[in-house]
């Protein structure tokens, strides 16, 4: 992965109702609300927990380790990056400790609205925080959810490990790529009908 160069995906501007959101304490930590990035009309909606670092010290756009590992996995899986939009459970980047359950609850309606508006064909959720937020009444984790299809707001959804977990434990890369192939296969088949 050392020679892999990730693409800086175009960030989508936050809608006016969210740009000034003060619903949780992250409003005091953030630089801006990060609504999402990539193709805003993409058929696949990738959901992560929260935005990572977006700019380097000089303020230049920067691809954090999470998004770099995601794109690397996509390349390995033959998954076209133009088919995805990437967004987050939390639309503000935390920079210090915060109350996670309260923030996730506060931000959830932004995600619900976003999914209603975008109507993606597939959702691909990454990491336990995502699984547990979407299925709070189940004893859910990535290990038990990956490899099969689930439903979120009427959208077919698959799950995999968080890219940072994959980065820290390279042994997970083969599962991550297999999960990306599952999603790429399904979206290619849906789009070719």
Q: Point out which residues bind ligand SF4 (CB under 6 A).
A: 18, 21, 23-24, 26-27, 33, 90-92, 103, 106-107, 110
Euclidean distance between the first and final Cα of the chain, in Å? 34
Look up tokens 């909606």; give the residue. 45
Q: Of 50 and 71, which has the nearer Cβ to ligand SF4?
A: 50
Closest C-alpha among 86, 77, 122 to residue 7: 86
Shortest gap between Cβ of 36 and ligand SF4 (angstroms)? 12
Smallest gap from Cβ 32 to ligand SF4, in A, equals: 10
Alpha helices (H) along the chain: 16-19, 65-77, 100-118, 128-134, 142-145, 163-168, 173-191
Work out how close the CB of 74 gets to ligand SF4 at its nearest, in angstroms, rounded to a whole number. 26
Shortest distance, position 15 Cβ to ligand SF4, whole Å: 11
Whether the CB-CB separation of 146 and 175 falls below 8 Å is answered with: yes
Q: Which is nearer to ligand SF4, 107 or 131 (CB)?
A: 107
């Amino acid at each position: 992965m050392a020679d892999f160069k990730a693409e800086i995906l175009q960030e989508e501007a936050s809608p006016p109702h969210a740009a000034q959101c003060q619903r949780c304490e992250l409003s005091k930590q953030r630089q801006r609300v990060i609504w999402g990035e990539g193709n805003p009309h993409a058929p696949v909606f990738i959901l992560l927990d929260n935005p990572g670092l977006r700019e380097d010290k000089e303020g230049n756009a920067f691809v954090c380790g999470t998004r770099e590992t995601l794109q690397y996995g996509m390349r390995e899986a033959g998954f076209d990056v133009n088919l995805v939009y990437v967004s987050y459970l939390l639309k503000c980047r935390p920079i210090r400790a915060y109350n996670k359950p309260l923030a996730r609850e506060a931000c959830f309606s932004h995600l619900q609205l976003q999914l209603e508006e975008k109507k993606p064909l597939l959702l691909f959720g990454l990491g336990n925080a995502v699984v547990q937020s979407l299925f709070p009444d189940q004893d859910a984790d990535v290990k038990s959810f990956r490899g099969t299809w689930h439903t979120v707001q009427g959208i077919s959804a698959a799950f995999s490990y968080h890219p940072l977990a994959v980065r820290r434990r390279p042994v997970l890369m083969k599962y991550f790529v297999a999960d990306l192939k599952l999603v790429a296969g399904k979206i290619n088949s849906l789009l070719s009908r």
